[in-house]
């Protein structure tokens, strides 16, 4: 493939997507080990019993929760072309055409965001003493277990669709470190200053206008993340 047509991902996207992905993979693997240590009702692999894995999992989960809002803002604004579009339903009628695959890819990107929102929210509703006390019946524990299955399926579909529409060049473009001059972190301080100056002059008034479906999705995800931090404060008080 000619170099100029190789896919290129903005550096900020790669940083936010990569950090979310790494913390999430840590959460998924440690979640499995937690299940294996304390539960195992649906079978498992005989990993060593390791009680500390629960708080290691909580730490991976917390880091995912901290980085995810920034990724959501990126995906719903600069990255919006790669999430569901207003014409998604019409495009879905063109079964098998390239537009159909691109539309499925956008749907699976969006599903990955929703799946992670559910996993993070249900994680925050977990009590850290439930599993050590053998309380395997809480509704939020079942919800959190199901969120793991949904998350693994969502990532599998996400990877399959990305592979289908762009093959390994697209997958690798998300994982490389090289960046173009215009994307250099050396410009970030200046860009943040410009952004901050515009914000002070009132640019914030248009942050949520026009209220497109994707901005509504962004707000809904951010509100649920804030709720996930606040609700446990009342439960355990
Ligand atoms: C685990 C390894 C992962 C790989 C190799 C990977 C790969 C990719 C690739 C190649 C793209 C570009 C696809 C396109 O052009 O539409 C992409 C975009 C995206 N990925 Fe992933 N992904 C991974 C994990 C995740 C996870 C865990 C999430 C869930 C939160 C996620 C959410 C997204 C979203 C929302 C986009 C669209 C980003 C935008 O343009 O704003 N990815 N990913
Ligand atoms: C994609 C899958 C998962 C993600 C992203 C995830 C994420 C999280 C998050 C964000 C927390 C809250 C941490 C905090 O309080 O700051 C949490 C807690 C917890 N999760 Fe998960 N989780 C996943 C799957 C699972 C599974 C399958 C189990 C099954 C055993 C599990 C067990 C727990 C437990 C026991 C807690 C409470 C830990 C504590 O507060 O110390 N998680 N998880």
Helix (H), strand (E), coil (C) string for 73-115: HHHHCCCHHHCCCCCHHHHHCCCCCHHHHHHHHHHHHHHHHHH
Number of domains in the chain: 1
Ligand 1 mutation pick, 112, 119, 151, max ligand atoms within 8 A of CB: 112
Asked whether the CA dihedral 59, 150, 32, 170 is positive or negative, the reply is negative
What confidence score (pLDDT) does residue 236 get?
62
User: Looking at the domain assignment, is residue 141 inside a domain?
Assistant: yes
Task: Check: CB of residue 71 under 8 Å from CB of residue 20.
Answer: yes
What confidence score (pLDDT) does residue 6 get?
85
Q: Report helix, strand or coil for 141.
A: helix
Could you tell me the two tokens for 120?
């993070």
What confidence score (pLDDT) does residue 1 get?
41
Ligand 2 mutation pick, 22, 50, 53, 58, max ligand atoms within 8 A of CB: 58
Report the alpha-carbon distance of residue 143 to residue 122 in Å, rounded. Answer: 6
Kindly state if the Cβ of 65 falls inside 6 Å of ligand 1: no
User: Looking at the domain assignment, is residue 192 inside a domain?
Assistant: no
What does the CA dihedral 172, 173, 178, 182 come to, rounded to 10 degrees? Answer: 180
User: Looking at the domain assignment, is residue 197 inside a domain?
Assistant: no
User: Looking at the domain assignment, is residue 200 inside a domain?
Assistant: no
What confidence score (pLDDT) does residue 182 get?
94
User: Looking at the domain assignment, is residue 18 inside a domain?
Assistant: yes
Kindly state if the Cβ of 73 falls inside 6 Å of ligand 1: no
Q: Report helix, strand or coil for 128.
A: coil
Task: Check: CB of residue 9 under 8 Å from CB of residue 18.
Answer: no
Report the alpha-carbon distance of residue 152 to residue 60 in Å, rounded. Answer: 16
Tokens 């290129």 belong to which residue?
A: 8
Kindly state if the Cβ of 174 falls inside 6 Å of ligand 1: yes
User: Looking at the domain assignment, is residue 199 inside a domain?
Assistant: no
Per-position pLDDT tens, the chain of length 237 = 445 578 999 999 999 999 999 999 999 999 999 999 999 999 999 999 999 999 999 999 999 999 999 999 999 999 999 999 999 999 999 999 999 999 999 999 999 999 999 999 999 999 999 999 999 999 999 999 999 999 999 999 999 999 999 999 999 999 999 999 999 999 999 999 999 999 999 999 999 999 999 999 999 999 999 999 999 999 865
What confidence score (pLDDT) does residue 237 get?
58
**Residue 165 lies in domain:** 8-179+206-235
Task: Check: CB of residue 128 under 8 Å from CB of residue 62.
Answer: no
DSSP, res 24: H
User: Looking at the domain assignment, is residue 1 inside a domain?
Assistant: no
Task: Check: CB of residue 183 under 8 Å from CB of residue 10.
Answer: yes
Task: Check: CB of residue 35 under 8 Å from CB of residue 44.
Answer: yes
What does the CA dihedral 78, 80, 82, 83 come to, rounded to 10 degrees? Answer: 150
Q: Which CATH number do you get for residue 145?
A: 1.20.950
Task: Check: CB of residue 83 under 8 Å from CB of residue 214.
Answer: yes
User: Looking at the domain assignment, is residue 201 inside a domain?
Assistant: no
Report the alpha-carbon distance of residue 63 to residue 202 in Å, rounded. Answer: 32
Kindly state if the Cβ of 16 falls inside 6 Å of ligand 1: no
């Amino acid at each position: 493939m000619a170099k100029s047509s190789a896919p290129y991902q903005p550096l900020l996207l790669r940083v936010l997507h990569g950090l979310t992905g790494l913390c999430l993979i840590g959460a998924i693997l440690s979640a499995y080990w937690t299940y294996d240590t304390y539960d195992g009702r649906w079978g498992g692999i005989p990993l060593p019993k390791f009680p500390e894995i629960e708080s290691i999992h909580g730490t991976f989960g917390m880091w995912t929760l901290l980085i995810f809002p920034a990724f959501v803002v990126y995906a719903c604004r600069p990255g919006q072309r790669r999430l569901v579009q207003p014409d998604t339903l019409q495009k879905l009628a063109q079964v098998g055409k390239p537009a159909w695959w691109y539309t499925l890819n956008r749907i699976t990107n969006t599903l990955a965001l929703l799946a992670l929102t559910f996993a993070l929210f249900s994680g925050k509703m977990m009590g850290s003493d439930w599993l050590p006390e053998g309380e395997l019946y809480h509704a939020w524990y079942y919800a959190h277990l199901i969120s793991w299955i949904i998350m693994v399926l969502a990532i599998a579909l996400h990877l399959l669709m990305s592979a289908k529409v762009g093959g390994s060049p697209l997958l690798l473009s998300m994982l490389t470190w090289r960046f173009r001059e215009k994307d250099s972190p050396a410009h970030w301080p200046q860009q943040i200053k410009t952004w901050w100056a515009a914000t002070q002059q009132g640019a914030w008034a248009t942050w949520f206008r026009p209220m497109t479906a994707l901005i509504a999705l962004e707000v809904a995800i951010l509100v649920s993340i804030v709720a996930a931090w606040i609700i446990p404060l009342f439960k355990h008080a």
